[in-house]
Amino acid sequence: MAAMKPRQAKVARKTRETRIAVSLKLDGKGSSSVRTGIPFFDHMLTLFAKHAVVDLKLRCAGDLEVDAHHTVEDCGLALGQAFTTALGDKKGIRRYGAGFQPDGGDDASSPGARRGRRGYEAYVPMDECLARCVIDFGGRPHLVWRGLDKFSQKISNAEKNQDMSSAFRFGLAREFFQAFANEARCNLHLELLYGDEPHHIVEALFKAFARAVDAACQRDPRIAGRLPSTKGKL
């Protein structure tokens, strides 16, 4: 198979509220270096890189003296932009993140690919929680956010004792995913099937998101060079 162009992007985003630098390699190994000033958010983006198997470097200097909102939302925007750039013309990608994940990467003749596809769905358990993510990098931004309405304003006792800048509420997770969907121009469905502990819930969502992103961004050797769309444009 001909050598493929590395799929990567660098994004610099600067406003009066945040300064962000992102460097993304789609066909990476899951390594990352993330500093947003919000340790919990760093934890989420680090595990996103690990489970999406992308290489990610992200730095954000945001107005945390206000609160975490601008930082979280703008990191979602910048990461979404990085995916749009790195995916490029989207030729040959699987597009949908759900159902199965190939084991052989780009090379259809690799031993992993010959062993066949391992059963896979973007359901991720985290102790008592179960989260599901299904994604389509089809060019139409849309977020569906289900199962978290009763949690949207819930702040744990531990969070109450932290300063405002480090409280990471469910509303903020939603802002991140909405921002990502807008800029990555993807249809993103996230659902909490059940769960209770706030840290577990957000972590399960980010992990399911990562697994779905990984599946959707993989190249399918059967459609190399072609768009997975009958419309001729994604």
Closer Cβ to Mn ion, 137 or 151, answer by number: 151
Q: In the window 177-206, what residues touch Mn ion (CB under 5 A)?
A: 203
Q: Provide, rounded to whole angstroms, the least separation between the CB of residue 203 and Mn ion.
A: 5
Closer Cβ to Mn ion, 68 or 234, answer by number: 68
Q: How many residues bind Mn ion (CB under 5 A)?
A: 1
Closer Cβ to Mn ion, 175 or 203, answer by number: 203
Instruction: Using alpha carbons, select from 184, 225, 226, 217 the residue that is nearest to residue 26.
Output: 217
Chain centroid, CA 138 distance in Å: 15
Q: Provide, rounded to whole angstroms, the least separation between the CB of residue 81 and Mn ion.
A: 26
Closer Cβ to Mn ion, 63 or 203, answer by number: 203
Whether the CB-CB separation of 90 and 207 falls below 8 Å is answered with no
Closer Cβ to Mn ion, 35 or 43, answer by number: 43
Tokens of 90: 């989207």
Q: Provide, rounded to whole angstroms, the least separation between the CB of residue 212 and Mn ion.
A: 19
Whether the CB-CB separation of 92 and 222 falls below 8 Å is answered with no
Q: Residues near 32 by Cβ (< 8 Å), separated by ≥ 6? A: 45, 46, 49, 50, 55, 56, 57, 58
- Closest residue to Mn ion, based on beta-carbon distance: 203
Q: Provide, rounded to whole angstroms, the least separation between the CB of residue 205 and Mn ion.
A: 12
What whole-number distance in Å separates Cα of residue 105 and Cα of residue 199? 32
Q: Provide, rounded to whole angstroms, the least separation between the CB of residue 93 and Mn ion.
A: 30
Q: In the window 77-116, what residues touch Mn ion (CB under 5 A)?
A: none
What whole-number distance in Å separates Cα of residue 80 and Cα of residue 185? 8
The residues binding Mn ion (CB under 5 A) are 203
